[in-house]
Chain A
Amino acid sequence: MCSGSVSPHHILRAFQEGVDGVLVGGCRLGDCHYQTGNYMTDKRMRLLKGFLPFYGIEPERLRVRWVSSAEASELVETISDFTKELIELGPSPLRRSPVLQRVSKDSMNRYHENLSGFGS
Chain B
Amino acid sequence: MRTLAVLDHEDNQVREDLNFLRDYVMQLFEKEMIKAFVGYRREGGHLIPAIFRTIGELDFMELDHDEVCNVERYPIGDICRRLLDSWPEGKLGVMVRGCDERALFEMSKWNQVDLDRLVLVGIACSGEWIKKCGCKKPYPDNLIVGKPVVDFTYSNTLGAYLESLSIEERKVFWDEAFIRCIKCYGCRNICPVCFCRDCSLEDPLLVKPGQTPAEFPIFHLVRALHMAGRCIDCGLCEETCPAHIPLRTLYRKINAIMEEELGYQTGVKDNEVCPLNKV
Contact = CB atoms under 8 A, between A and B. Distances in A.
The dominant DSSP class at the A interface is helix
A53 B167 contact: yes
Interface string A40-61: 1001101110110111111000
Contacts, number: 111
Contact of B175 (A15, A53, A58, A100): A100
A47 B174 contact: no
B176 interface: yes
A93 to B, nearest CB: 6
Contacts of A97: 168, 171-172, 175
Interface size class of B (residues with CB under 8 A): 35 or more
Contact of B261 (A16, A35, A50, A55): A50
A12 B261 contact: no
B170 A54 contact: yes
B257 A16 contact: no
Given A47-B258, A55-B221, A103-B180, A118 B215 contact: no
Given A9-B200, A107-B176, A119-B157, A51 B279 contact: no
Contacts of B131: 119
Given A51-B253, A93-B168, A46 B157 contact: no
Residue of B131, B163, B168, B175 with highest tally of chain A CB at under 10 A: B175
Interface of A: 8-9, 12-13, 15-16, 35-36, 39-40, 43-44, 46-48, 50-51, 53-58, 93-94, 97, 100, 102-103, 107-108, 111-112, 115, 118-120
Please name the 5 residue pairs, one residue from A and one from B, whose CB atoms are nearest each other, closest first: A56-B171, A50-B257, A36-B279, A118-B158, A16-B218
